[in-house]
């Protein structure tokens, strides 16, 4: 009898836990998007300590590994609280950590409302190879088809040519501008075409 109960509990746990453990593994032609882990902290530090990466992100590159550890911890917390969060971008061929991309439940950027934000941030040596575009398309697809989100938003400083180019290329329409910390940003918003 005890064995039977253990068996039933094991099944229930497997069914309940499996989607959480498996969530957010996305594969594209060249990339694997997988959940961030604490083992990524050094890669986050390499990414975010580069001032060029932060030109359109308040110009505040991180100065210590502890700041990167906090960023990773925040993402892990978002997975738990919101059921989604940014994902690490891995080169499938070389296994290199390229950066991060994906969705985040954003509560700060727009004063007027919360929304699901599409974003990306890559180490400088990987820019200009179409990786951000590839990851962004897969993230939109995941958000709309798998998570069935009603809409996804995105923002880019009006002077950030690369980011604006990506958002337009993947089919996100601009629907105005807003100001965040004195910087004028384009606001992009796309409704789920599958609903
Ligand atoms: C923005 C960022 C993610 C772009 O990554 P990426 O992998 O180089 O982007 P992609 O190669 O997929 O696409 C970039 C597009 O912008 C275009 N682009 C790049 N620089 C440009 C410029 N100065 N002027 C005009 N277009 C530009 C590219 O030509 C390309 O478009 P195309 O494919 O039609 O030619 C990367 O530079 C980055 O991580 N920057 C720092 C973090 C950041 O700013 N994140 C975004 C915040 S909104």
Tens of pLDDT, residue by residue, the chain (195 residues): 555 555 554 444 444 443 444 566 999 999 999 999 999 999 999 999 999 999 999 999 999 999 999 999 999 999 999 999 999 999 999 999 999 999 999 999 999 999 999 999 999 999 999 999 999 999 999 999 999 999 999 999 999 999 999 999 999 999 999 999 999 999 999 999 999
We report the CATH number of the domain holding residue 105 as 3.40.630.30
Instruction: Tell the residue nearest (CA) to atom 15 of ligand 1.
Output: 162
The domain of 31 spans 25-151
State both tokens at 195. 């609903």
Residue 17 located in a structural domain: no
161 C-alpha vs ligand 1 centroid, how far in Å? 7
Please indicate whether residue 156, judged by its CB atom, sits closer than 6 Å to ligand 1.
yes
How many CB atoms sit inside 10 A of residue 76's CB? 15
Residue 64 located in a structural domain: yes
168 C-alpha vs ligand 1 centroid, how far in Å? 11
Nearest 10 degrees: CA dihedral of 193, 147, 104, 136? -50
Residue 51 located in a structural domain: yes
Question: Given CA atoms 96, 99, 101, 104 in this order, what sign does their dihedral have?
Answer: positive
Instruction: Tell the residue nearest (CA) to atom 37 of ligand 1.
Output: 127
Residue 6 located in a structural domain: no
Residue 121 located in a structural domain: yes
Choosing from 117, 123, 165 the residue with most ligand 1 atoms within 8 A of its CB, the one to mutate for a pocket test is 165
Count how many domains the chain has: 1
Choosing from 162, 167, 168 the residue with most ligand 1 atoms within 8 A of its CB, the one to mutate for a pocket test is 162
Residue 184 located in a structural domain: no
Q: Which atom of ligand 1 is nearest to the CA of 162?
A: 16
Residue 76 located in a structural domain: yes
Residue 158 located in a structural domain: no
191 C-alpha vs ligand 1 centroid, how far in Å? 23
Instruction: Tell the residue nearest (CA) to atom 27 of ligand 1.
Output: 162
């Amino acid at each position: 009898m005890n064995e039977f109960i253990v068996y039933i509990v094991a099944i229930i746990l497997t069914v309940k836990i499996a989607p959480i453990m498996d969530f957010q593994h996305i594969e594209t032609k060249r990339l694997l998007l997988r959940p961030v882990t604490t083992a990524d902290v050094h890669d986050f530090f390499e990414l975010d300590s580069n001032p060029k990466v932060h030109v359109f992100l308040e110009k505040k590159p991180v100065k210590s590994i502890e700041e990167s550890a906090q960023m990773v911890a925040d993402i892990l917390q978002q997975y738990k609280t919101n059921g989604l969060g940014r994902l690490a971008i891995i080169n499938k061929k070389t296994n290199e950590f390229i950066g991060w991309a994906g969705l985040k439940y954003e509560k700060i950027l727009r004063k007027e409302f919360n929304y699901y934000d599409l974003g990306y941030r890559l180490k400088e040596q990987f820019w200009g190879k179409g990786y951000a575009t590839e990851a962004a398309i897969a993230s939109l697809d995941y958000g709309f088809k798998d998570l069935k989100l009603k809409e996804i938003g995105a923002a880019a400083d009006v002077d950030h040519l690369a980011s604006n180019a990506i958002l337009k290329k993947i089919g996100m329409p601009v629907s105005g501008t807003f100001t965040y910390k004195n910087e004028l940003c384009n606001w992009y918003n796309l409704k789920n075409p599958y609903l």
